[in-house]
Structure formats: C-alpha cells, structure tokens
Amino acid sequence: MHFARFFKLAWAVQLLVGVALFGVSFYIENEILQAFFAAPVVALVLALSLETGKAASIVWHRYLAQGASEDYPPVTRLVSATFRGGLVLLSLLCSLLYLGVQLDRPNLNAVRDAELAAIDSELAQALARLDAERETRLERDQRLRDREYADARRDHQGQVDELEALLRAEMDNTVNGVFRGPRYQELETRLATARRERDAALAALSTRHREQADRLAAEFTQRQAEARAGLRKTAEQQRAALYQGRLDLDERTQDPRVVSLTHMIRAVTDWQLSPPLFTLLFAVFISLVVELGIVLAFDTVTLSMRPALAVQHREEVMTEAMMAEMNGTAEREGLRHRDAMDRVRKGGERIGERARAAATNQRDDQREAA
C-alpha cells in the first residue's frame, strides 16, 4: 500500500516536472516564433499546437508501440517517429536560439556603449586640443608681432625724440631774437623726415603683420580642417570596428562567471575553452536536458499507466462494440418488425378491398334481379 502511494506520488511529481518543462519549452518556442512571424497570434497558435502535439505524440507513441503491429503498423510508426523527432528538434533549435541570445556576450551592448562613449570623449578632447593649440599659436604670434612693432616704434621714436630735443635746444640760440636759423631749419627738416620714415616703417610693418596674421590664420584653418576630418574619420572607423566583430573575443562582453570558469578549466586541464564555445555547449546541454525531461516525463508516466489504460481502453472498446452490435441488432429487429407490420397492413388492405368488391358485386346482382 505504501509502495503504491510512493509510486503514485513519484509519477505525479514527474508529470508536474514534465508539465513545467513543457511550459518553459512553449514559452521559449513562442518567443522565437514571435521574432519570425509578423502576427503574434499566428506564432502563439503555432507554438501551442506544436508543443501540444509533441506531448501528445510522446504519449500515443508509447501507448501504441506496446500494442500489436497491426494496430500500429510500421508506416504509422515511422510517420509518428518523424513527427516527434521534428518537433523535438524544433524545440531544441528554438532553445538554442533563445539561450544563445541570453548567454552569448550578455555585456556586449554595455561594453560597446562604453567604447562609443570613450571614442566620442577622445574625439572631443582631440578637437579641444586643436582649438587650444590654434588659439595658443595665434596668441603667441600676435605677441611676437606686438613686440616687433613696439621695438620698431621705439627705435624710430628714439631718433624722433633725439631730433625734437635738439630742435628744442636750438630754439634757445637766437640771433637778433630770431631762432629759426639754418641749423634749426636743418633739424626741423631732419625731424620731419624722421617722422615720415617712422610712420612709413610702422605702416609697412603693420601691413606685413596683418598679412602674416591672415596667412597664418588661413594655414591654421586649413590644417585644423584636415586634422578635424582625420580625427572624425578615425573615430568613424573605430565606431565601425565595434560593430564589425572587434568585440567578439573581448572577455568584457562575456558573463564574468563564464570567463572565470573558462579560466579555471584552462588552468586545471590546459584546455583552451573560449567563452563562446562554452556558451554553445552550455546552451546545447540545457536545451537537451529540457527536451529529454519532457520526453522522459510523458513517456515514463504513459508507460507506467499503460496497463491500466490498456485494460480500460480494451473494455471501453469492447463495450462500445457490444453496444454497437446490440444497437444494430435492435435496429434490424425493428426493421423486420416494421416490414412484417407493413406486410400485414397491406394484406388486410387487400382483403378489405376484395370484401368491398364482393359486396359491391352482390348489390349489383340483387339490383339486376329486382
């Protein structure tokens, strides 16, 4: 009695495990099919139909495989096995697709975003350095020009100041109250010439400085435009490399537990197991366990319940057959009874017709005799 309860409980638990794994497989398959079908309802109905068919095929195959060959012929067995195998393979493939997305490089987007942010930050810093370099160089050149202009003005102004001092001193040399003698006039002429030379030299220097400043600004503008274009091109190439597989083997994109485990395996066994390969093997293992769990649960429960189900099925079939035979017999008897009643009714009608005809003839004979 206790053993019977134990096995019933074990079968119930196993069936619950199978139903739970069936639900997980259905969820995964529905998620994958949703990505391939535009209408979510179609994916849902298809996933539910296929998963239900898979569970049902496991049950009916195990049930009918134990029966007679004429009840489950080889062609039907082959079709059933192909159907079950195809559904299990589909579920396995959907599980691999789903788990692959979950396990393969789960940190890829985060690492890529960080790399993109670093590229953008480096580009911004490089552009800022170019701007700062331009401003520094322009300011330094402007200081050099200002110093050169100040030196030139000081040199020319010194000569002018010297001549002005001599001219003021000459004003004290008067002859009969007049100081504008030949020396004064000479100094005045030399002062005017020095002033003109000063103004012309400073004007020429200013013109040259403006030309130098414009030329330098144009050169810097062109050079910086080329440098900016080069920096942006490099940044674009770095961004493109992030989407073209540069991060495929980067351990930062993998789950740290996977990376740690592969390192331990490599350290202990010297087996070069990469995180992508481990992810593939792990996804295959989980998918196989789920599918084998579903097959095992429904298959063993059906196998354990088959004797009782077979007897019950046989009794129900026999009962249905007997009921069908009894109903057929009763229907045939009813048909015979209705046929006999029809013959009796028709015979009575014929007798009545003959009696009516005889009575009519008798009346006619009596009428003729009268």
Per-residue pLDDT tens listing for the chain (370 residues)? 466 676 677 777 877 888 888 888 888 889 888 888 888 898 899 888 888 888 888 777 776 766 655 566 778 778 878 888 888 888 888 888 887 777 777 777 788 888 888 888 888 888 888 888 877 877 787 788 778 877 777 776 777 677 667 766 666 666 555 556 666 677 667 777 777 777 777 788 788 878 887 887 788 788 888 888 888 888 888 888 877 777 766 777 777 787 787 878 888 887 877 777 877 788 788 888 888 888 888 777 776 666 556 556 666 767 777 777 777 777 777 777 787 777 777 777 777 777 777 777 777 777 766 6
Q: Token pair of 31, please?
A: 């998620």
Q: Token pair of 326, please?
A: 């009894």
pLDDT for res 182: 66
Q: Please name the residues in contact with 60: beta carbons below 8 A apart, sequence gap of 6 or more.
A: 80
C-alpha gyration radius of the chain = 56
Tally of residues, the chain: 370
Is 188 in contact with 167 (CB distance < 8 Å)?
yes
Question: CA 276 to CA 279: how far, in whole Å?
Answer: 5
pLDDT for res 91: 83
pLDDT for res 1: 47
Q: Token pair of 245, please?
A: 């597989």
Q: Token pair of 256, please?
A: 């740290």
What are residue 249's phi and psi, to 5 degrees? -105, 10
pLDDT for res 347: 73
pTM value > 0.75: no
